Amino acid sequence: MTVFIIRRLMQSILVVFVMSFLVFGGVNLVGDPVEMMVSDEADQEERERVIRSMGLDKPWYAQYGIFVANALQGDLGKSFVYGEQALGIIVQRMPATFELALAALLMAIVIGIPLGVFAGLKPEARTSKVIMTGSILGFSLPTFWVGLMFIMVFAVVLGWLPSTGRGETVQLMGIDVSFLTFDGLSHLLLPAVNLALFKISLVIRLARAGTREIVHQDYIKFARAKGLSQERVILVHLMKNIMIPVVTVLGLEFGGLIAFSVVTETVFAWPGMGKLIIDSIQSLDRPVIVAYLMIIVLVFVVINLVVDVLYSILDPRVRLQDVKG
């Protein structure tokens, strides 16, 4: 396992390197940030001064070289807009997004799995049909619309929950978190549900499909023939088997939650990375875009590694070894 992890880390470095090239190259192809930065009335001298200050006078490969050299020292460049370290700006926003994504993930697991297992065990029951129909809605309703409806109903009409911001935060190990205060929790609830809705539906479907398949396996019947209680058969013998696909998919989806919580963050004015990246793309703030994408690449790499390790814990047949050649 140690060998596997070391090998994977080395592969990850390669992935990060290739991604940095693609991202940097890609960003250089879209738009000209100078047009955004410099006012129309500026003269040629002024323009050139700005271009030089941003390092845009050098050819692209030289720019990339400087970027890599700086990146290795932890410097991903200064934001054109804020004039601060791009990495710093993103890291500052990261806890908000992580908190939101984790809350959504937790909901997907805690709500999705029991409902899915129930629907799988009793496929003919009316409740199961309601659950499955609900999951189709969760899949197909657009996130932004659901978010707006949530605000309409719970914030505007009923006035139960706030519609924007993170609310009161407290420091937990040097990081601002919302979920430890009542006010913060009430702010977290709507965006988290909004973000989780799709994932809950996904988990319901996965858990149901898994249950329906596993429940007919001989080893479930054998477990019953051993005289185990129904609870033990379901919670241990069945659950541990359906968790394998659920963990795999949720791992990948968690990366997606972090990277693409943009819509929810925008609707609920949640001060996270998603909102930052949208603003940065609009103002062609290259260093922030590049730094953001690099961080997302890292997040995915780490999550994939964690999923692989979890997988081997859940399924003893999986050995953490690379296939050679």
Partner 1 sequence: MSAADGGAPTLSVRNLETHFFTRDGVAKAVDGVSFYIGKGEIMGLVGESGSGKSVTGFSVIGLVDPPGEVVGGEVLFNGENLLAAGEERMRQLRGNRVAMIFQDPMMTLNPVLRVDTQMIETVLAHDKSVSKDEARQRARDALGQVGIPSPDERLKAYPHQFSGGMRQRVAIAIALLNKPDLIIADEPTTALDVTIQGQILYEAQKLCRETGTALIWITHDLAVVAGLADRICVMYAGRVVEQGKLDDVLDHPVHPYTVGLLGSVPGHNTRGQRLFQIPGMTPSLLKLPRGCSFQERCPRADAACGADPEITQPVPDRNVRCFHPHLEEAAE
Q: How far is the CB of 315 from partner 1 (least distance, A)?
A: 6
Residue closer to partner 1 by CB (options 89, 243) is 243
Query: Cβ closer to partner 1: 217 or 282?
Result: 217
**233/40 Cα distance (integer angstroms):** 72
Q: How many residues does the chain have?
A: 325
* Cβ 303 to partner 1 shortest distance, Å: 22
Nearer to partner 1, 123 or 167 (CB): 123
Contact 311/244 with Cβ under 8 angstroms?
A: yes
Q: CB of 124: closest distance to partner 1 in angstroms?
A: 10
Directed axis angle between helix 182-214 and helix 86-121, to 10°? 50
Give, as one character, the DSSP assignment of residue 320. -
- Percent of the chain as helix, strand, coil, to the nearest 5: 75, 0, 25
Take residue 282 and report the two structure tokens written for it: 């609009």
Instruction: Give the nearest distance from C-beta 295 to partner 1 in angstroms.
Output: 35
Burial class (CB in 10 A: 0-12, 13-18, 19+), 276: buried
Q: How far is the CB of 307 from partner 1 (least distance, A)?
A: 16
Q: Which is nearer to partner 1, 229 or 321 (CB)?
A: 229
Q: Which two tokens stand for residue 24?
A: 């940097």
Rounded to 5 degrees, what are φ and ψ at 171? -85, 130
- Long-range contacts (CB closer than 8 Å, 24 or more residues apart) made by 165-171: 165/268, 165/269, 165/270, 165/271, 166/96, 166/270, 166/271
Q: State the DSSP code for 38.
A: S
Question: What does the binding site for partner 1 look like in residue numbers (CB under 8 A)?
Answer: 216-219, 221-229, 232, 236-237, 240-241, 244, 314-317
CB of 8 to partner 1, least distance (A): 23
CB nearer to partner 1: pick between 180 and 235 = 235
Query: Within 10 A of 172 (CB to CB), how many other CB atoms are there?
Result: 12
d(CA 121, CA 215): 8
> Phi, psi (5° rounding) for residue 318?
-85, 125
Q: Which is nearer to partner 1, 11 or 217 (CB)?
A: 217
CB of 321 to partner 1, least distance (A): 15
Nearest distance from residue 236's CB to partner 1, in Å?
A: 7
Residue with Cβ nearer partner 1 (41 or 231): 231
Give whichever of 70 and 321 is closer to partner 1, judged by the CB atom.
321
What's the CA gap between 170 and 280, in Å, rounded?
28
